[in-house]
């Protein structure tokens, strides 16, 4: 019998191979473990999506699968398999690997759903002889190894990196990006059943959720995920590059792919996503800058984050070099956006509450940046992102939050902390215009909480950041602030009230 976890749902997890022990007709096991939802307060739309996807997959697999609803995985396994041998692909979290290793009848094969085997990454990283690992170097190595966007030995179009052409502010005077909308699925009777079960569990006091469970927005089956990929590549990929970092209050999706939850549920194989994008460029249907930008996200960032989760080891998740220990305030935990006056944060937090998704820049430069500036405990911030985002899993959250967003690893993943004053948000969005605060003001009644928070962050961490060549200049700017004392007083008074 072969056990499929709830994020191993696509056909590539069933390809027969010797190292997995899988054949064309190996019986399959799926376990829906209620304890997962009891342990933490997840976004309800996320719980809905995961259960819907598992049940859709079980319906597709028919008699080949035994689908068990149990309190724990251990109990489900005992019910379905007893002591019989079971195989499983390497799961995606350290906790799940520990569980699998503790079960004597279970044999674990290599991971699937990523481009690079873990051992190959470890050999590449070890080959750096202790030098800092750079995502850009890794990405180029993956491009070469997988012959992705390559012309012979060189990068297609002669350049590895089109960041310079990408990352533009939103088009002036546009309230939405002029591109066709993303694929949206239609709910079916499986969703109805899931919603009914979630209602019942909540009513029984068995579980508690946060956020709204509106109509399901993300694919729950392979057919839906393929339709979403097709729609993105055919209609939206062309605009991906230039506006990948831009934000518009009225257009939360911009031209992002919305494929993260499908990739992370295993409904899509990353290889098919990047190959489709490359084929669109080769057919003349999308510009290279956008295609390269998209390929970079998947073959570069997604893959890098997955590898670092394992490579950096068990202790990495507890990193906290800035010694940030403040707990998340209740309004944040409850996704209570209505009390927030800062328009950018209110807009983004409401989006998380309503859908469990925002694109990368709101995650990094609005949510994460605020948490970093306030000195919130990085482990709590990681847990919050994991619970509240439809695409959140341990492997992807730990490096993205501990490393990229909270700089809690002291720079093992990024060269500098990702945080900024309101000027960045103002340049890259239309969010500041009607806000109660002004991005250019750092103290006083209209002080932008991001601008004040930025200077306060530099001030608090001066000793560390003046030694970093990427932040040293900004730190020196503190000496020119005539209102530093007022800024400090104001920041102390602000506490953790919604800004």
CB closer to ligand FAD, 270 vs 499 = 270
* Closest approach of ligand FAD to the CB of residue 385, in Å: 5
Is 364 one of the binding residues for ligand FAD (CB under 6 A)? yes
How far apart CA 238 and CA 410 sit, in angstroms, is 36
Helix axes 484-494, 449-460, angle to 10 degrees: 110
**Binding residues for ligand FAD, how many (CB under 6 A)?**
27
CB closer to ligand FAD, 3 vs 310 = 310
Restricting to residues 395-424, which ones interact with ligand FAD according to CB under 6 A? 396-397, 400-401, 404-405
Please answer whether residues 325 and 331 qualify as being in contact, where contact means their C-beta atoms are separated by less than 8 angstroms.
no
Restricting to residues 286-325, which ones interact with ligand FAD according to CB under 6 A? 297-298, 301-302, 305
Is 376 one of the binding residues for ligand FAD (CB under 6 A)? no
* Closest approach of ligand FAD to the CB of residue 151, in Å: 23
Please answer whether residues 465 and 322 qualify as being in contact, where contact means their C-beta atoms are separated by less than 8 angstroms.
no
CB closer to ligand FAD, 146 vs 462 = 146
CB closer to ligand FAD, 146 vs 195 = 146
CB closer to ligand FAD, 81 vs 228 = 228
Restricting to residues 202-221, which ones interact with ligand FAD according to CB under 6 A? none
Buried b (16+ CB within 10 A) or exposed e, 426-447: bebbbbbeebebbbeebbeeeb
Please answer whether residues 14 and 88 qualify as being in contact, where contact means their C-beta atoms are separated by less than 8 angstroms.
no
Structure tokens at 270: 């990353």
Restricting to residues 241-280, which ones interact with ligand FAD according to CB under 6 A? 256-260, 263-264
Determine how many CB atoms are found less than 10 A away from the CB of residue 121.
Answer: 23
How far apart CA 271 and CA 279 sit, in angstroms, is 12
CB closer to ligand FAD, 77 vs 224 = 224
Is 236 one of the binding residues for ligand FAD (CB under 6 A)? no
Alpha helices in 213-324 (DSSP H): 222-231, 260-264, 270-282, 288-295, 303-311
* Closest approach of ligand FAD to the CB of residue 291, in Å: 12
Helix (H) or strand (E) holding 4: strand 2-4
Is 385 one of the binding residues for ligand FAD (CB under 6 A)? yes
Return the SS3 of 126: helix
* Beta bridge partner(s), residue 29: 3, 66
Q: What is the x/- site pattern for ligand FAD, positions 107-146, by CB under 6 A? A: ----------------------------------------
Binding residues for ligand FAD (CB under 6 A) = 256-260, 263-264, 297-298, 301-302, 305, 359-360, 363-364, 368, 385, 389, 391-392, 396-397, 400-401, 404-405
């Amino acid at each position: 019998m072969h056990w499929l976890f709830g994020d191993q749902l696509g056909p590539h997890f069933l390809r027969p191979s010797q190292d997995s022990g899988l054949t064309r007709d190996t019986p399959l096991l799926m376990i829906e473990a209620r304890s997962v939802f009891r342990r933490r307060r997840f976004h309800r739309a996320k719980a809905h999506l995961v259960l819907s996807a598992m049940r859709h997959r079980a319906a597709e697999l028919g008699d080949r699968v035994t689908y068990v609803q149990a309190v724990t995985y251990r109990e489900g396994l005992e019910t379905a398999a007893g002591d019989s041998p079971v195989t499983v692909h390497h799961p995606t979290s350290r906790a799940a690997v520990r569980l699998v290793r503790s079960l004597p009848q279970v044999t674990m094969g290599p991971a699937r759903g990523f481009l690079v085997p873990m051992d190959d990454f470890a050999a590449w990283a070890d080959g750096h002889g202790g030098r800092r690992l750079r995502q850009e170097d890794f990405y180029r190595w993956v491009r070469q190894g997988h012959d992705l966007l390559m012309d012979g030995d060189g990068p297609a179009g002669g350049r590895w990196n089109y960041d310079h052409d990408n990352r533009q502010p939103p088009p002036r005077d546009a309230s939405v990006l002029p591109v066709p909308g993303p694929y949206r699925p239609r709910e079916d009777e499986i969703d109805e059943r899931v919603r009914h079960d979630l209602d019942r569990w909540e009513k029984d006091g068995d579980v508690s959720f946060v956020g709204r469970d509106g109509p399901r927005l993300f694919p729950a089956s392979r057919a839906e995920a393929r339709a979403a990929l097709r729609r993105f590549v055919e209609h939206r990929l062309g605009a991906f590059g230039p506006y990948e970092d831009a934000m518009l209050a009225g257009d939360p999706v911009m031209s992002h792919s919305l494929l993260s939850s499908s990739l992370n549920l295993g409904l899509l194989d990353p290889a098919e996503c990047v190959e489709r994008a490359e084929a669109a460029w080769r057919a003349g249907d999308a510009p290279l800058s956008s295609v390269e930008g998209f390929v970079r996200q998947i073959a570069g960032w997604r893959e890098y984050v997955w590898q670092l989760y394992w490579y950096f080891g068990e202790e990495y998740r507890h990193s906290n070099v800035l010694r940030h220990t403040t707990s998340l305030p209740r309004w944040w935990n409850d996704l209570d956006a209505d009390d927030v006056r800062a328009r950018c944060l209110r807009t983004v937090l409401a989006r998380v509450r309503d859908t469990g998704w925002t694109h990368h820049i709101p995650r990094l430069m609005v949510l994460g940046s605020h948490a970093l500036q306030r000195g919130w405990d990085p482990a709590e911030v990681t847990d919050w992102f994991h619970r509240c985002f439809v695409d959140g899993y341990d492997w992807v959250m730990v490096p993205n939050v501990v490393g990229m967003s909270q700089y809690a690893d002291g720079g093992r993943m990024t060269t500098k902390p990702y945080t900024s004053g309101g000027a960045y948000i103002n340049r890259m969005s239309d969010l500041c215009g009607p806000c109660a605060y002004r991005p250019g003001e750092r103290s006083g009644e209209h002080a932008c909480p991001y601008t004040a928070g930025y200077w306060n962050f530099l001030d608090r961490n001066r000793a560390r950041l003046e030694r970093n060549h990427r932040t040293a200049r900004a730190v020196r700017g503190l000496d020119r602030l005539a209102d530093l004392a007022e800024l400090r007083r104001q920041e102390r008074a602000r506490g953790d009230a919604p800004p």
